[in-house]
Structure 1
Amino acid sequence: MTNGEHSPKEWSEKGLLAEIRKLHQQGRSLAFILGAGASASSGILTGGKLAYDWLQEWHQRECLEPDTDLQSWAREQLENPTFSTHQDAKPAYQDAASHYSTIFERRFAGDYTSGYAALEDAMEDAAPSVGYSILAKILDETHHRVVVSTNFDNLVADALAIHARRQPLIVGHEALAGFARPQLRRPLVAKIHRDLHLAPKNDREGVNTLGQGWGNSLSQLFQYSTPLVLGYGGNDGSLMGFLNDLPAGHIPGRLFWCYRDEPPAQNVLATIAKHSGVIVKISGFDEFM
């Protein structure tokens, strides 16, 4: 990747692991930022795949012209003339990921309870993968105790219940954000889009707006812990907006952003560069952990 003002450097996976080892030896703390990609190997569909399924259901229900194909109809409904559902080099669901909240809103308009039930069904049989098991041991046995997640699932808590000695503090609603403090004695899981059973945020306003109280808590957390991003694409406006607004130099060290298939979008790269960050291609969450 070309390195410039708005393009962070790219490191190797081995190089990142070596750096993490040194930071650990120096007593520096990491905060794991998890997105839907981290839960895929645990049996939960990614946001893009869920959005693509909902898009097809929305199309089937509201497209009154039987000869209109999904792509043409979606381009009009989403007001995106380049939206694609059949890309040669990319998964069919990839473009749907960036329209997740809009698709959720339109698919479940008038009945968000049905949408929450759909999410519960999608996560009902999920079990922590080996990556979450290793993460649980790290959270329990080291000074790296913080998880900030855009996910609704309970995989971190489930893994800690199996492998850890101490129960975590789960902050699953912005009303409790004040309890998400740095330097806690037990693992902390901050679920900024809420818990699965607490009206999780899926609509555009919810996904793009950071709940009141989270800004101050996250600011404090990232003063003490260096973010390590895993499985998060930066498609929301809440956490991504917070990271973008955070002053340069606020984060200790640099921001580490891992990706699996495609590099982050240009606006995300600019935010990473702002925080002296690096991007790292990994083979997957489980493999990296």
Structure 2
Amino acid sequence: MTKIAKPSTFDIKPQAHLVNIIRTTRDHHPNFVLFLGAGASVTSKVEPTSTMIDRWRSQHYQTYGGGKLFDAHLASQPWYNKTNEYSLLFEQLYDQPSQRREFIEYCLKEASPSWGYIFLVNLLDKKVFNTVFTTNFDDLLNEACYTFSQDVRPIVCAHDSSIRSVRITSKRPKIIKLHGDFLFDNIKNTVNELESLENNMKDKFKQYAAEFGFIVVGYAGNDRSVIEPLNWLLSQERNFPHGIYWCIPKNAEISENVQNLVRFPRFHLIEIEGFDELFAEVHEALDLKLQPEMSDPYNALSRRLNNLIQNTNIPNAPHPIVLRHIQAMGERITRYNTATPSGGGVTAIMPNQGNTFPHGLRIPYVMLSQISRRNSHYDEAVRYLLAELTTQPSLVIIMDAIGVISEHKLFEHLDEVMKRLRESNAELEKNPNLSFDLCLPLIVAKKYREAREVLELGREAAQKNPAAPFEESFYWLNLLQIKVHEGKELTSDERQRLEKMTLTGNELSQMGAHILLQKYKEAESYLKIIVRKRMVNPPSSISNWPIIALLKPHLQHPLEQILNGGSKDGIISRALLEMENGPKPEPPPSK
């Protein structure tokens, strides 16, 4: 019979002790690996192991009891051992692995991540922890990562073969399932299956033990496959440099396997209120802000919808089915607010109505803007983007607004967009090169004053953050092409700058410099090289560049032909030869 000890027998520290250790060592995180057992999922509507065991005892007694007293029945079974009760009863009642898998799947049907998992996801995001070992079959932690965070995308290893490629130094969070996953047929549940870890799992377990401490939550320690390696690893002084903190619920009994680990000086027992409570306290002690998906869920949902639509690229969406569903979604969102469908499709939810629905849900303006654009309601599309900018300033949205304004000559909105751009200095400082993309549609629209201002804002941002990427040559090319588009003459200093650029820049800046110097043949050769090397994708987008408008009348070959990769006479390959060896004479016309 397994010996069970009462908690008072041992030196058990309170939950606050562990929380304090995590808080005061925060500058060195992650220095602990988490180890989760079935107890971590109880508040997530996963039936506790103890409840399963009680039910299985009753089922076995009803099937095989034969008139004996309940306790005497199990004690009389030659296979019965209380230490392995869960595994033994499971194997007795469900003969085949497929049956055991289906039972586990049934048990997890109603499972949903509890608050402990929500806090844990944020702790993974903030690098407090990086790796979670678990004996659980459920997918609760991975599900929580995808449901309650836009950023945490863990690596999940449930197979011995997949664990070898996992690097413990990788910054991406890792979930390592020691006993497999209920989604696959490799789950381990019986005594024989739990006898030992597979080699690769065991090796990875040892690697982590050599570098980290372990925090064990919700695990009773009844698997030889885990306990035996822990015993051996604890006997080696080099392992668990930050110790093992084994968390037990208040007034819980301690199994013999865990009692045997207490003798090691690096093993500590911690009494906790529960899985949810522990990670709530850790989260609070580190003064972390809850992820937006929980602290501001409606805004997070709105951003997700906006991102979905932006990624779908509605103006050139590849399939009408996608467009139909997006259109329907937009219609429903608009009806939710106004219940007034318009003839064009999407009812206008305008900025003066506020940025939320009556029930506090944030309006996904970017999505509605894209739908309006699809329906050729361009003024409405710009107004949606401006409404979005009042709640979430973004250079991507500003770029989108400038594009629509420039293409459809909606210049009455341009001052407002430029104002928003001036307020976005912090974002521009991270990537000043975005100023070039922002200025191009303005040059095309002949809004040269605004285009110059955008370039200067980008240069100022680069000066404030010298570490940020900034192509000085592109700044000058765009500044000087504005001057040329205005019909002004370049100064000798400006021409000298361009001459230098033809020798030292990359192919893109060399092409631009040759165009502004009116060296069109050389510029055409560089254009062909750019297309050949696919330096711009898709190449057809080059035709929209305002600097190409200066080159197009002087091309020897049609622009469309060049952008399509050249014709059968090999103009691209000849351009490459010209770049390497100088220009070659054109072949004589065929007879």
- TM bucket by the smaller chain? 0.7 to 0.9
Contact 2:134 2:175 in 1 (8 A): yes
- Is 1:68–2:54 an aligned residue pair? no
1:143 Cα deviation from its structure 2 partner: 4.3
What is the DSSP-based 3-state SS (H/G/I as helix, E as strand, rest coil) of the residue aligned with 2:142?
Answer: helix
CA distance in 2 between partners of 1:263 and 1:248 (Å): 28
**In the comparison of the two structures, how many residue pairs are matched?**
268
1:52 Cα deviation from its structure 2 partner: 2.4
- Is 1:196–2:182 an aligned residue pair? yes
CA distance in 1 between partners of 2:10 and 2:105 (Å): 37
CA distance in 1 between partners of 2:145 and 2:32 (Å): 17
What is the DSSP-based 3-state SS (H/G/I as helix, E as strand, rest coil) of the residue aligned with 2:76?
Answer: helix
What is the DSSP-based 3-state SS (H/G/I as helix, E as strand, rest coil) of the residue aligned with 2:167?
Answer: coil
186-195 or 68-77, larger mean C-alpha shift: 68-77
Distance 1:272 1:155, change over 3 A: farther
Among 141, 144, 155, the residue aligned to 2:140:
155
1:27 Cα deviation from its structure 2 partner: 3.5
CA distance in 2 between partners of 1:49 and 1:248 (Å): 38
Distance 1:254 1:135, change over 3 A: same
Name the counterpart of 1:92: none
- Is 1:259–2:261 an aligned residue pair? no
Name the counterpart of 2:90: 104
Name the counterpart of 1:86: none
Name the counterpart of 2:130: 145
CA distance in 1 between partners of 2:101 and 2:30 (Å): 38
- Is 1:249–2:251 an aligned residue pair? no
Among 221, 232, 257, the residue aligned to 2:219:
232
Gaps of 5+ in 1: 84-94
CA distance in 2 between partners of 1:179 and 1:55 (Å): 41
1:79 Cα deviation from its structure 2 partner: 5.5
179-188 or 70-79, larger mean C-alpha shift: 70-79
Name the counterpart of 1:90: none
What is the DSSP-based 3-state SS (H/G/I as helix, E as strand, rest coil) of the residue aligned with 1:68?
Answer: coil
Structure with greater proportional helix content? 2
CA distance in 2 between partners of 1:33 and 1:221 (Å): 11
Structure with greater proportional strand content? 1
1:239 Cα deviation from its structure 2 partner: 1.2
CA distance in 2 between partners of 1:180 and 1:244 (Å): 24
Question: What is the letter of the counterpart of residue 68 of structure 2?
Answer: T
1:158 Cα deviation from its structure 2 partner: 0.7
Contact 1:255 1:275 in 2 (8 A): no
1:224 Cα deviation from its structure 2 partner: 2.4
Among 248, 273, 279, the residue aligned to 2:263:
273
Alignment of 1:34-53 (within 5 A): 34-53=36-55
CA distance in 1 between partners of 2:25 and 2:221 (Å): 25
What is the DSSP-based 3-state SS (H/G/I as helix, E as strand, rest coil) of the residue aligned with 1:166?
Answer: coil
219-228 or 261-270, larger mean C-alpha shift: 261-270
CA distance in 2 between partners of 1:151 and 1:284 (Å): 17
Distance 1:78 1:30, change over 3 A: farther
CA distance in 2 between partners of 1:45 and 1:170 (Å): 23
Contact 1:31 1:144 in 2 (8 A): yes
Distance 1:276 1:167, change over 3 A: same
1:201 Cα deviation from its structure 2 partner: 0.4
Question: What is the letter of the counterpart of residue 181 of structure 2?
Answer: D
Among 204, 222, 233, the residue aligned to 1:217:
204
Question: What is the letter of the counterpart of residue 185 of structure 1?
Answer: K
Alignment of 1:18-37 (within 5 A): 18-37=20-39
Question: What is the letter of the counterpart of residue 43 of structure 1?
Answer: K
Contact 1:171 1:179 in 2 (8 A): no
Question: What is the letter of the counterpart of residue 191 of structure 2?
Answer: R
Could you tell me the percent identity over the aligned residues? Answer: 24
1:189 Cα deviation from its structure 2 partner: 0.4
Name the counterpart of 1:89: none
Q: Hey, which bits of structure 1, 4+ residues long, moved more than 4 A?
A: none
Distance 1:114 1:266, change over 3 A: closer
TM-score calculated relative to the size of structure 2? 0.43
CA distance in 1 between partners of 2:258 and 2:237 (Å): 15
Max radius of gyration: which structure?
Answer: 2
1:211 Cα deviation from its structure 2 partner: 1.6
What is the DSSP-based 3-state SS (H/G/I as helix, E as strand, rest coil) of the residue aligned with 2:258?
Answer: helix
Contact 1:37 1:46 in 2 (8 A): yes
What is the DSSP-based 3-state SS (H/G/I as helix, E as strand, rest coil) of the residue aligned with 2:242?
Answer: coil
What is the DSSP-based 3-state SS (H/G/I as helix, E as strand, rest coil) of the residue aligned with 1:264?
Answer: coil
CA distance in 2 between partners of 1:181 and 1:48 (Å): 35
CA distance in 1 between partners of 2:183 and 2:24 (Å): 39
Distance 1:263 1:279, change over 3 A: farther
Q: Deviations over 1:230-255 (max 9, x none)?
A: 00010111111111111233111211
Name the counterpart of 2:170: 184
What is the DSSP-based 3-state SS (H/G/I as helix, E as strand, rest coil) of the residue aligned with 1:193?
Answer: coil
1:135 Cα deviation from its structure 2 partner: 0.6
Question: Superposition RMSD on alpha carbons, in Å?
Answer: 2.2
